[in-house]
Structure 1
Amino acid sequence: MSFDIVQWLAALVPILVLLVLLLHCRWGGDEAASAGLLFSILIAYLVFGGGADMIALAVAKGMWTSLSIILVVFPALIIYEVSWESGAFGVIRAGMQQFTPDKVLQVLAVGWIFVGFLQGITGFGVPVVVCAPLLIGMGVKPLTAVLITLLGQAWGNTFGTLGLAWDGLIGQVDVSNPLILNKTIIWTTAMLGVVNLIAGLLIAGLAGGYQGIKRNAVTVILLGLFQGIGQMGIALLNPMLCNFVVASVSLGLIFIIGRLDYYRQPVELNDPAEEKTDEKNVTANAMNIQQAFIPYVFLIVIAVVVLLNDSVKNYLGQWKLSLSFAGKTTLLGFSTHSYPAYAPLAPLIHSGAFLLLAAIIGYVCYVRWGYIQAGGVQRIMKNSLAKTIPSAIAVIGLIAMSKVMDETGQTTVLAQGVAAVTGGVYPMLSPFIGLLGTFMTSSNLSSNILFGSFQQQVAQMLQIDKAPLLAAQTVGGAIGSIIAPSKILLGTTAAGMLGREGEVISKVIGGAMLLCAVFGVVIYISYQLGW
């Protein structure tokens, strides 16, 4: 497999620009994304031979795809503002003491277990935008809250969202042989189990420091093993439900654990945020914990009822919105398909619809109970829009950049270059291809669609078993969700720290790369041993 070094270096430029501006220059996501988009367009036109019409269509596709993310951000912020306006966060913070006075376990329950549960049923960044504000309301610093939710959602990125990313992978490759399919599942779930276990320990450390890890190590290890082994066993029977079932049981287990005598002693956070005296929290002291969680309870109920009931899901999902795009070809021969209905959006079963309906129900309940005063809806909408607009600009820039790179061949050249140069040691780098796909698209599903068949082709070229490479693809994609700029933007927006995306990436990128490297070495060794 040959490649052009000039093209490879040129394709790398937009990514380097994005990373340098975010990490070194500390630019905000909207500014860095705009610069990355500009460079991707220039490279597409000057080096890859993409015509102006082709580039324009790629940008338009990016804008359309971005709509799905923005439709999650805006209603999620409305839920946050409804909860803030009503004083629910203060009640949640106090009510968690009834679950356990150990604040580190509280954080594990919300930032690890509940985040995993939401990822199992909804995905699309919902766990981050919903749980980061919850953690902040419990006394966690905003930056720490974003890091925790990013870590907590990673392991569910393949089999979460009812197995959507997994379906995207197996839809691109040939796994008709049951032995290959089962081997791919075992490799994938085994590595994801390690990701989840490490995430749990890191979350305990972020919440409670070294003592947090030491005190909760047994709990995290036992729950992590249960989730990892449970996901593996159920995935062999039903990949669609494996993550959701395991996460649901874990949610019940964490509350049982919180009742143990071991967790009845007060334990403080290692580095808590400064407590704020807010008049809304003071005047809402009549609210109980069940009322405070009303929007989130309805979010779960709505999502479960719609997504797990095929008749309801199919009925509501028949109404779709889409755009048509013509196929184009660059001067270098990279082609795009013609789409009569590109990335159809089913608004009634979209996560944004669930969030919006839950927000409306929460608002109506709080108004009826007297927790939101006159003018509340105006304040809620004003604050939500103010936070959504800059985030939307950044999301559009990032997704449009990824589409321009994808459709003009830049992303493919990057992957092919790595495979061509590394040859027999390529398995060591295979997880990084999945990570690259998710970093660029903010979606494990998109990464699997983009590079799933590529990993299979490399396996055939090297005449090796493709199962470990396919697993490396989607596990690398799951790890990539921790450092994906668009997903980080969801967290910084929800946490009220928009513009600090580079700070978040700098905290997690080293660990993500190290984990991919370790998995790559394990896969390489497995080939050498003939596993």
Structure 2
Amino acid sequence: MSINVLQWFTALVPILVLLILLLRCKWGGDEAASAGLLSSILIAYLVFGGGADMIALAVAKGMWSSLSIILVVFPALIIYEVSRESGAFAVIRAGMQQFTPDKVLQVLAVGWIFVGFLQGITGFGVPVVVGAPLLIGMGVKPLTAVLITLLGQAWGNTFGTLGLAWDGLISQVDVSDPLTFTRTILWSTGMLGIVNLIAGLLIAGLAGGYKGMRRNAVTVILLGLLQGAGQMGLALLNPMLSNFVVVSLSLGLIFMIGKLDYYRHPVELHDPAEEKPDESVMGQKMSIQQAFIPYLFLVIVAVAVLLNDSIKGYLGQWKLALSFAEKTTLLGYATHSYPAYAPIAPLTHSGAFLLLAAIIGYACYKRWGYIQAGGVQRIIKNSLNKTIPSAIAVIGLIAMSKVMDDTGQTTVLAQGVAAVTGGIYPILSPFIGLLGSFMTSSNLSSNILFGSFQQKVALMLQIDKAPLLAAQTVGGAIGSIIAPSKVLLGTTAAGILGREGDVISRFLVGAMLLCAVFGVVIFISYQFGW
């Protein structure tokens, strides 16, 4: 599809509208998403020749795709409300003192290592919606808790979720040559290791200020090197399990580190939340093991199902999906026909694990006498009140991305960058991955959307495609930190819905700078033939 300057700039408008309203005007996610969706529809119809039927189908795809996210948000909020109603968060806060009185290390253990562990097995926003309330229960301010969990989950967005995003990338490109496969793995894991190391240091800084970063630098570096080098080595053998194995080892290791004399002295958070009374008097009688019941059950079920092919295959055979016909714009951009679009397997969906964990948690707390009369009504009411505005925003954002994708706007943006930059395109290659993740809130979707595009550019420029493919998925991982839909999950879970712009503004420049650094490194590698 040929493009011109007008098409490129108009394709950029919905993204600019979204960012300006979020960052400059401080609109909430639901309002900004609605405005972005409207602008993408108008541009699709007036500039890109998308018919009303085509646009309607794109919006319908977005609404259907949004269901996967909403099915994670609602049960995750139920877990939060169950824990809050029972007084479990008060017990978790007190129980973490038994691990270590150093509150900065506590935050690293939960916000970096445990969140990374959840990303390794579940993904789909679960680490954010589970991790943020846990951190808040430990005394972290809500906004800081969201920032920390977004950082903690980022590096696992390629080989986490049992390598789902990696599978999405290699399904779109040709890495049959062993050397290309190996180089793509090495470039990807190398850059992701750096992302993880930076995230660990930033989390230490967010929790403990400069002093906290300096005090925990050695611990973060050692754990970061273990995770980065471990994932690199294991990914060459088994990409599906590489992230899960190293984060599991790290989870055990950080609890061993907490027993060192260095971490047996009390250290306070740099900017803690205001102390509140315990949520429940009965909660004081609860043990730390009981307080973690929903989260322990979540991990056990997820691991048991996702790592067992027989169980996963049996439960995953029941799927729900919608069919969509092929459509073509007046400019000639065609969508595929989908007999079964974005199928959802309800019994192996992350939302099912979360809901089951919430039910088990509630049943246990009720049996132990930690849930007072009327508790279930309060839990459902509070969960729904938080889910509804978040769901509106998620639907708007995902529908906007589908309209842009189906009518060619997203592709025009990427092709325009490649056409203008030419030989210096490798510098901008990570930004394409970031764009895809920003629009879809999924590194998997970004890799499917732009993986083949990155390969075509490499062939056009007659350069090794491995670094560009790595840039694609690493850029997508970085983009997951600022993706509006994922940010919404965090603000919803933390009870600060409407502050999405504050979250994105904290990370936007840093994410762009990191992509630029990786792009320059890749560009230099081509110049020296690395």
TM-score between the two structures when normalised by the length of structure 2: 1.00
What residue is the counterpart of 2:454 in the other structure? 455
Q: Distance in 1 between matches of 2:153 and 2:18?
A: 24
Matched residue of 2:157: which SS? coil
Tell me the equivalent position of 1:168. Answer: 168
- What is the distance in 1 between the residues matched to 2:491 and 2:87? 21
Displacement after TM superposition at 1:309 (Å): 0.3
Give the aligned residue type for 2:20: V
CA RMSD of aligned residues (A): 0.7
Q: In the alignment, is the contact (CA less than 8 A) between 1:109 and 1:254 conserved in 2? A: yes
Residue aligned with 1:8, SS: helix
Tell me the CA shift for residue 281 of structure 1: 3.2
- Structure 1 unaligned blocks of 5 or more: none
Q: Deviations over 1:392-443 (max 9, x none)?
A: 0000000000000000000000000000000000000000000000000000
Q: Distance in 2 between matches of 1:48 and 1:109?
A: 49
Aligned to 2:38: 38
- Deviation (angstroms), 1:277: 1.2
Question: Match for residue 414 of structure 1?
Answer: 413
Distance in 2 of aligned mates of 1:141 and 1:363: 26
The residue number in structure 2 matching 1:359 is 358
SS for the counterpart of 1:342 is: strand
TM-score of the two chains, using structure 1 as the length reference:
0.99
SS in 1 for 2:310: helix
How many Å separate the matches in 2 of 1:212 and 1:126? 27
Partner of 1:47: 47
CA contact (8 A) 1:2 1:417 kept: no
Matched position secondary structure for 1:236: helix
Look up the equivalent residue of 2:255 and give its one-letter code. Answer: F
Give the match for residue 509 of structure 1.
508
- CA–CA separation in structure 1 for the residues paired with 2:230 and 2:346: 33
Matches within 5 A, 1:68-467: 68-278=68-278, 280-467=279-466
Distance 2:195 2:68 in 1: 27
| Deviation of 1:284 (Å) | 1.5
User: What residue in structure 1 maps to residue 478 of structure 2?
Assistant: 479
Q: Is the 8 A contact 1:168 1:449 kept in 2?
A: yes
CA contact (8 A) 1:482 1:508 kept: yes
Q: Is the 8 A contact 1:444 1:481 kept in 2?
A: yes
Distance 2:391 2:96 in 1: 33
Distance 2:300 2:264 in 1: 30
Per-residue Cα deviation, 1:67-112 (whole angstroms, up to 9, x for no partner) = 0000000000000000000000000000000000000000000000
Cα offset, 1:2, TM superposition: 6.3
C-alpha separation in 2, matches of 1:30 and 1:105: 35
SS at match of 1:343: strand
What SS class does the counterpart of residue 280 from structure 2 fall into? helix
User: How big is the shift at 1:282?
Assistant: 3.0
CA distance in 2, matches of 1:480, 1:501: 15
Q: Is the 8 A contact 1:141 1:273 kept in 2?
A: yes
- 1:496 maps to which residue? 495
After superposition, give the CA deviation of every residue in 1:202-228 in whole Å (9 maximum; x if it has no partner). 000000000001100000000000000
CA distance in 2, matches of 1:297, 1:284: 18
Question: CA offsets, 1:435-461, max 9 Å, x none?
Answer: 000000000000000000000000000
- Equivalents in 2 of 1:273, 1:373: separation in Å? 26
Tell me, in whole angstroms, the C-alpha distance in 2 between the residues paired with 1:344 and 1:453. Answer: 22
For 1:494 and 1:275, the matched residues in 2 are separated by: 19
CA-to-partner distance for each residue in 1:453-496, whole Å, 9 max, x for gaps?
A: 00000000000000000000000000000000000000000000
State the distance in 2 between where 1:282 and 1:219 align. Answer: 36
**Partner amino acid for 1:379?**
R
Distance 2:430 2:323 in 1: 33
Q: Structure 2: where are the runs of 5+ without partners?
A: none
Look up the SS of the partner of 1:481 in the other structure: helix
Offset, 1:375? 0.8
Partner Cα distance (2:358, 2:416) in 1: 47
1:21-66 CA-to-partner distances (Å, cap 9, x unmatched) read 0000000000000000000000000000000000000000000000
After superposition, the C-alpha distances for 1:494-518 in whole angstroms (9 at most, x for unaligned) are 0000000001000010110000000
C-alpha distance in 2, partners of 1:282/1:335? Answer: 61
User: Offset of 1:374 from its aligned partner?
Assistant: 1.2
Listed one character per residue, the Cα deviations across residues 146-183 of structure 1 (whole Å, up to 9, x for unaligned) are: 00000000000000000000000000000000110010
How many aligned positions are there?
Answer: 530
Per the alignment, residue 3 of structure 2 pairs with 3
Offset of residue 383 of structure 1: 0.2
CA contact (8 A) 1:22 1:29 kept: yes
Residues 283-331 of structure 1: CA deviation (Å, up to 9, x unaligned) = 3111010000000000000000000000000000000000000000000
Whole-angstrom CA distance in 1 between matches of 2:327 and 2:143: 42
User: Which residue type is aligned with residue 517 of structure 2?
Assistant: V
Q: 3-state SS of the aligned residue for 1:156?
A: helix
Give the letter aligned to residue 424 of structure 1.
Answer: G
Q: Distance in 1 between matches of 2:277 and 2:441?
A: 37
Task: Tell me how far apart the structure 1 counterparts of residues 283 and 213 of structure 2 sit (CA, whole Å).
Answer: 35
In structure 1, C-alpha distance between the alignment counterparts of 2:472 and 2:281, rounded to whole Å: 50
* Residues in 1 aligned to 2:235 and 2:529: alpha-carbon distance in whole angstroms: 24
What is the identity, as a one-letter code, of the residue corresponding to 2:341? Answer: Y
Partner SS, residue 130 of structure 1: helix
Q: Distance in 2 between matches of 1:356 and 1:299?
A: 9
1:3 and 1:420 in contact (8 A); partners too: no
Paired position in structure 2 for 1:520: 519
Query: What secondary structure, in the 3-state scheme, does the structure 1 residue paired with 2:285 have?
Result: coil
One-letter amino acid of the counterpart of residue 529, structure 2: G
Q: Distance in 2 between matches of 1:57 and 1:352?
A: 25
Distance 2:504 2:30 in 1: 15
Distance 2:105 2:290 in 1: 22
CA–CA separation in structure 1 for the residues paired with 2:6 and 2:342: 33
- C-alpha separation in 2, matches of 1:269 and 1:245: 30
Find the residue that maps to 1:322 and give its secondary structure.
Answer: strand
Give 2:86's aligned amino acid.
S
Query: Percent same amino acid among aligned pairs?
Result: 85
Measure, in 2, the Cα distance between the counterparts of 1:211 and 1:266.
Answer: 14
Would the aligned equivalents of 1:324 and 1:340 in 2 still touch at CA under 8 Å?
Answer: yes
Structure 1 Cα separation of the partners of residues 180 and 36 of structure 2: 39
| Alignment partners' CA distance in 1, 2:282 and 2:183 | 57
Corresponding letter in the other structure for 1:325: F
The code of the aligned residue for 2:253 comes to L
Counterpart AA for 1:130: V
- Distance in 2 between residues matched to 1:315 and 1:160, nearest whole Å: 22
